[in-house]
Amino acid sequence: MIIEINDKLVSTEVFDRKFICDLKSCKGACCVEGDAGAPVTPEEIEEIRQSLEGIKPFMRPEGIAAIEKDGLSYKDDFYEDVVTLVDGGACSFVYFDEKGTALCAIEKAHKEGKSSIKKPLSCHLYPIRITKSKMFQMVNYHEWDICGAACVLGETVGMPVYKFLKDPLIRAYGEEFYKELEEAEKLWRHSN
């Protein structure tokens, strides 16, 4: 089912599905697997470019080499800007902690006060994916088998996707949208 909030078409799966990212189980697989880099906007590319010297100390040498060779982003099969990958695999901004968990150098630099961008919004919003048409933005839940443990953990505590992603949803659309989303969930649950 779809609920319209202003120019957003929101799938009710974001209310119904449960999710809490479980890095202990997945080891950050979403940053190293997949068929393309994470979607980025032109504005995010520019923010990354401006913060790059602060981000580089947290990157792996192969990530730095990839962006020096191929740039910060490329166009995927849908002609969308996505973050450059290392040899078609991991995100160029991935680094690994002592337990082998993939983490984000952009986010680390932000926490250290060296980057103005927290991380690409598409990463922050996952497992919500935004697609745009001329009139609407579609807010959909994206299911990926590597997030199975996150779904189990979310079910265990009853955490709907949109509540887990409150901060990035507010980052994307503002507090008023999030309040409307909460009201939409109440109405949706009451009607079911």
Q: What is the pLDDT of residue 77?
A: 86
Other CB atoms within a 10 A radius of the CB of residue 111 amount to: 12
Q: What is the pLDDT of residue 133?
A: 86
Higher pLDDT, 103 or 36: 103
pTM across the whole model: 0.90
Residue 124 CA to its chain's centroid (Å): 4
With cut-offs at 50, 70 and 90, classify the pLDDT of residue 31: very high
Which residue ranges make up each domain of the chain?
1-19+127-192, 27-116
Q: Are 120 and 40 in contact (CB under 8 A)?
A: yes
pLDDT in tens, 168-179: 999 999 999 999
Assigned token pair, 106: 């952009």
In whole angstroms, give the CA distance from residue 146 to residue 153. Answer: 13
Other CB atoms within a 10 A radius of the CB of residue 31 amount to: 23
Q: What is the pLDDT of residue 108?
A: 97
DSSP class per residue in the chain: -EEEETTEEEETHHHHSB----HHHHTTGGGT-SSSPPB--HHHHHHHHHHHHHHGGGS-HHHHHHHHHH-SEEE-TTS-EEE-BSTTSSBTTEEE-TT--EEEHHHHHHHTT--S--S-HHHHHTTEEEEE-SS-EEEEE---GGGHHHHHHHHHHT-BHHHHTHHHHHHHH-HHHHHHHHHHHHHHHHH-
Q: At what angle do helices 175-191 and 166-173 cross, to 10 degrees?
A: 120
Q: Is the peptide bond before 42 cis (omega within 30 degrees of 0)?
A: no
Best CA proximity match to 62, nearest among 96, 29, 33:
96
pLDDT in tens, 58-110: 999 999 999 999 999 999 888 889 999 999 899 999 999 999 999 999 999 99
- Flag whether pLDDT at 192 surpasses 80: no
* CB-based burial label for 104 (10 Å; 0-12, 13-18, 19+): buried
